[in-house]
């Protein structure tokens, strides 16, 4: 079946890029030697921003899913308030090196669509920039919700078509004449990556429906624009005298303004799906952090 082929290709991907233990160590050393004040880290902090209000709570227990290098777990451990983190990925070869390098603690090889943990094992599950790799992403969401006690956090590129009425209008008109006309203007409608996956982008409406279907009480969305990475930025300094950094910040300001005005949707969605209704303090934190919050009405028939 296709999903099995997908699992195999993905499990081999990082070892093909970094075949030896030494090459994996060199990968970590590149980022370590560059220091914290790099453009890459600046962009990564934007991607991690949907977690900020959560990891302030002391003593939470996390699972990271699709955390190939263990850097998601490392971020939570480094920036959270005494957080316990179990890192996981489809293969654990890189995680083994990350553990030796002191970047992660507990880790395991896990298929996101069939996690080995018992129900409610972790307070939260983080899936950052991996959801689009899964051949059956909804199965992964159900599994993450199963093993989470409080909720899950997903950070993924957003599907623009449902948030931009003009695009949807044009697509609907052209679809009356056949798919080939839609595909001419909607170039990334069926995007695939070299590792073999369809790029499964998320949307706010899909998450709302998923939560309503499972009778979950609350979802929150953080609309962010961090997609400005290019080769070489891993070591470029995020300083005011660096023209590359100044250019990226200017582009981000333009994108942020257009999103605020409703001209376009954000590049990425930070999604928090709660299994229990947040308390008043959490709701205030979400509001202060510019989350778009949706209270899901309870199913009146169950």
Q: In this predicted structure, what is the pLDDT of residue 168?
A: 75
Mean pLDDT of the chain: 93
- The tens digit of pLDDT for each residue in 19-38 reads 999 999 999 999 899 988 99
Whether 259 has a pLDDT exceeding 80, the answer reads yes
* pLDDT of 180: 80
Can you tell me the distance from the alpha carbon of 82 to that of 60, in angstroms, rounded to the nearest whole number? 7
> Given this model, what pLDDT does residue 175 score?
83
Instruction: Give the model's confidence band at 43: pLDDT under 50 very low, under 70 low, under 90 confident, else very high.
Output: very high
Top-confidence residue, 182 or 17: 17
- Which residues are within 8 A (CB) of 248 and not within 5 positions of it... i.e. 6 or more apart? 39, 43, 228
Q: Which two tokens stand for residue 121?
A: 């094992």
225 within 8 A of 266, measured Cβ to Cβ: yes
- Pick the more confident residue, 187 or 95: 95
Above 80 in pLDDT, residue 167?
Answer: no
Q: Are 93 and 100 in contact (CB under 8 A)?
A: no
Q: Residue 296 carries which DSSP code?
A: P
More confident residue, 173 or 148: 148
Confidence of residue 189 (pLDDT cuts 50, 70, 90): confident
Q: Is 180 left (phi over 0), alpha (psi -120 to 50) or beta?
A: alpha
* Neighbouring-strand partners of residue 75: none
Domain boundaries, the chain: 2-36+51-157+188-226+269-295
Q: What percent of the chain has pLDDT over 70?
A: 100
Residue 185 has pLDDT above 80, yes or no: no
**Strand, helix or coil for residue 113:** coil
Q: Which of 12-16, 163-167, 227-231 has the lowest mean pLDDT?
A: 163-167
Instruction: Lay out the sheet containing 292-295: strands in order across.
Output: 106-109, 84-89, 61-65, 122-128, 148-157, 268-274, 218-224, 292-295
Task: Place 296 in a pLDDT band, splitting at 50, 70 and 90.
Answer: very high
pLDDT in tens, 54-81: 999 999 999 999 999 999 999 999 999 9
Given a cut of 90, whether residue 47 has pLDDT beyond it is yes
Mean pLDDT, residues 218-233: 94
Q: What are phi and psi of 52, to 5 degrees?
A: -55, -45
> Residue 262: its pLDDT value, please?
87
CATH 2.30.30.140 for the 2-36+51-157+188-226+269-295 domain, yes or no: no
More confident residue, 211 or 162: 211
């Amino acid at each position: 079946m296709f999903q099995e082929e997908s699992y195999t290709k993905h499990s081999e991907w990082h070892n093909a890029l970094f075949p030896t233990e030494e090459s994996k160590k060199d990968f970590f050393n590149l980022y370590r030697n560059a220091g914290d004040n790099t453009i890459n880290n600046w962009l990564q902090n934007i991607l991690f921003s949907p977690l900020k209000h959560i990891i302030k709570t002391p003593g939470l227990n996390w699972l990271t899913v699709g955390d190939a290098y263990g850097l998601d777990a490392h971020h939570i451990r480094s920036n959270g308030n005494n957080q316990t983190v179990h890192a996981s990925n489809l293969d654990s070869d890189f995680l083994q090196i990350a553990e030796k390098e002191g970047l992660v603690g507990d880790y395991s090889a896990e298929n996101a669509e069939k996690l080995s943990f018992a129900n409610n094992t972790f307070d939260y599950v983080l899936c950052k920039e991996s959801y689009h790799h899964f051949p059956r992403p909804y199965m992964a969401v159900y599994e993450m919700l199963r093993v989470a006690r409080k909720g899950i956090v997903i950070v993924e590129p957003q599907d623009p078509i449902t948030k931009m009425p003009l695009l949807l209008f044009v697509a609907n008109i052209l679809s009356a004449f056949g798919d080939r006309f839609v595909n001419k203007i909607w170039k990334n409608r069926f995007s695939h990556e070299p590792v073999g996956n369809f790029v499964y982008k998320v949307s706010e409406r899909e998450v709302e429906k998923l939560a309503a279907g499972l009778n979950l009480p609350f979802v929150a969305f953080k609309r962010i624009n961090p997609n400005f990475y290019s080769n070489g930025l891993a070591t470029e300094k995020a300083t005011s005298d660096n023209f590359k950094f100044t250019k990226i910040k200017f582009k981000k300001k333009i994108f942020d303004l257009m999103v605020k005005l409703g001209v376009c949707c954000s590049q990425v969605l930070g999604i928090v799906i709660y299994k229990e209704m947040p308390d008043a303090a959490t709701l205030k934190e979400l509001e202060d952090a510019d989350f778009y919050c949706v209270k899901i009405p309870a199913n009146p028939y169950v």
